[in-house]
Chains A and B, each alone.
Chain A
């Protein structure tokens, strides 16, 4: 079966491309544990008792729409917000009883900028180093190392308010890592950045993650970012609805979606049911069905198929499909990027007709 074998290999290659394989083996020790963590704001139950563990060296993502409780959870883990119920440890320290030890062990990049724009880039980093009590020799070396890595060294003396959004974010990531934290928290690290900059930021983050054997805990509502995670917790309305590796989550939907354009739809459906036990749907001349490992299945299917197949489309389910099947809603209902929204608005045919 040379063809099927090759398809399998291709599938494996593709898997590698989408999922980020941790380069350091996950140690069994948990670096974050949360048990029944909850937070109310008045009557609003922002986080309703979430429990999870994060292993050392893992890239762990919190995925969910705006207002799902992602930032509230991160704020509790970072000791900026006291939980209403439940408990958690970060780097082995209780987030309520050992706040200062937790703060020392973590680096944080917030959703909104937290730089002092009137100071220069290097002054912002020095302030951080002083605040964390770094010895002078280590401090200067580390500032140089991280600024070089983030390609900000040439601009070190510029005031931060002259920086672009991407540069500010890179500076914040450098600052978050300055004091050698064990865990880096990234709250929507690429919010409001253009796709190219977002991609660059991710390259930096994953590169650093390998260099420093960091554990990364991030929140996002971008699907493609979630794909970079070793494991994803999907959160909706303050509750975890799923937690697993991205591949496993997607496979849980019953595999890939295969769409065959055929000459005789009815015959194809009958044949699929008779020979493979697959119930397929028909729309026009397109027959569609779900099957695990479609790349391996389709060549095999077509070799023995008596109906004539005109074209084949295989679609991997996305994390959005996972979210949709778990909650009945799409994360993409709310566009994260205002520019994208504007573009969509402008490119609507009706809109164009109006502007003409």
Chain B
């Protein structure tokens, strides 16, 4: 047990150390989401104006991009395992008394902290996108970002535990993670798209993560609060039932538990 706990903090500590020391990684983790935000909002705001009930496109997209950045950052924690394997450092970790579960959870927690830093940087830009935040909103977002990060890190680590090359990992991310992210309602409401896309989107667990972040972020924009109301463009309606924030988080959280356990089992297998 003590080896597990120590493993978690030692591995998480190194992830953060690497994040800070590698300038390119720092720049891409913080720069990419900001570029996305600026380009999409500036590029599309004249074409697409107000959507429904006081929410315009930029406000709609803003929390979506926050969620997307959190997902992608977390998935890439799996890449750091592949990287560690390539440079040999993984052996140093595997031959130490740290437990495998500690290593997996440490990587996932490291990714969550980086995801939180990203989120806070993006939240600081909220006024530029006409989104008004309150302390309550920020405090509510923190646990949700952590749950989303842990879940997606579980996915990345599960793949990373099996992959030998960084290229292989990148290909998988491009073929699985990017499509899933784009079909998660980041840029458009999933309740109002062609039928096939609606089905795919609602089967996609990321959709619920995006929805959770959006509901909280836009709570101040929608009269009466988006959390309770049946807003036409916010919320995921499945079989006539529109999910609540808690249900959204539960979907992602359950998936995360399965993925993290899978990653730990997969790590244990390689001795």
Contacts and interface: CB of A to CB of B under 8 A. Distances in A.
Interface of A: 78-82, 100, 103-104, 106, 108, 110, 112-119, 123, 127-128, 130-133, 175
B202 interface: no
B10 interface: yes
A114 B13 contact: no
B98 interface: yes
A110 B10 CA distance: 21
Interface string B6-24: 1101100110011001100
A82 B271 contact: yes
A112 B88 contact: yes
Contacts of A80: 91, 94-95, 271
B22 A118 contact: yes
Interface of B: 2-3, 6-7, 9-10, 13-14, 17-18, 21-22, 84, 87-98, 271
B89 A116 contact: yes
Most buried by A among B7, B92, B93: B92
Contacts of B271: 79-82
Counting chain A CB atoms within 10 Å of each CB, the highest count among B6, B9, B95 belongs to B95
Contacts of B84: 116
A133 B87 CA distance: 24
Contact of B98 (A110, A115, A131): A131
Contacts of A175: 92
Contacts of B92: 114-115, 128, 131, 175
B96 A103 contact: yes
B146 to A, nearest CB: 23
A115 B87 CA distance: 8
A256 B57 CA distance: 90
Contact of A133 (B2, B21, B89, B93): B2
Q: 5 closest A-B pairs (Cβ-Cβ)?
A: A114-B88, A131-B96, A130-B10, A114-B92, A103-B97
Given A82-B271, A128-B96, A130-B6, A114 B91 contact: yes
Given A82-B271, A133-B3, 11 more contacts: A79-B95, A100-B3, A113-B88, A114-B88, A115-B87, A123-B17, A130-B6, A130-B9, A131-B93, A131-B97, A132-B97
A78 to B, nearest CB: 6
B6 A131 contact: yes
B6 A115 contact: no
Given A81-B271, A118-B21, A131-B98, A110 B91 contact: yes
A116 B87 contact: yes
A289 to B, nearest CB: 50
A114 B96 CA distance: 13
Given A116-B14, A123-B17, A78 B88 contact: no
A126 to B, nearest CB: 9
A113 to B, nearest CB: 6
B212 to A, nearest CB: 34
Nearest to A101: B97
A104 B90 CA distance: 17
B88 A130 contact: no
B159 to A, nearest CB: 22
Nearest to B22: A118
A130 B7 CA distance: 9
A81 B91 CA distance: 11
Contact of B10 (A78, A112, A131): A131
A170 to B, nearest CB: 16
B88 A127 contact: no
A114 B89 contact: yes
A104 to B, nearest CB: 5
A22 B242 CA distance: 77
Given A110-B88, A116-B87, A100 B97 contact: yes
A81 B96 CA distance: 14
Among A116, A123, A132, the most chain B Cβ lie within 10 Å of the Cβ of: A116
22 contacts: A78-B95, A80-B91, A80-B94, A103-B95, A103-B96, A112-B88, A114-B88, A118-B21, A119-B18, A119-B21, A127-B10, A127-B13, A127-B14, A128-B92, A128-B96, A130-B6, A131-B6, A131-B7, A131-B10, A131-B97, A132-B96, A133-B97
Contacts of B98: 131
A132 B6 CA distance: 9
B139 to A, nearest CB: 31
A244 B9 CA distance: 46
A202 B2 CA distance: 37
A75 B88 CA distance: 14
B125 to A, nearest CB: 29
Contacts of B2: 133
B6 A133 contact: yes
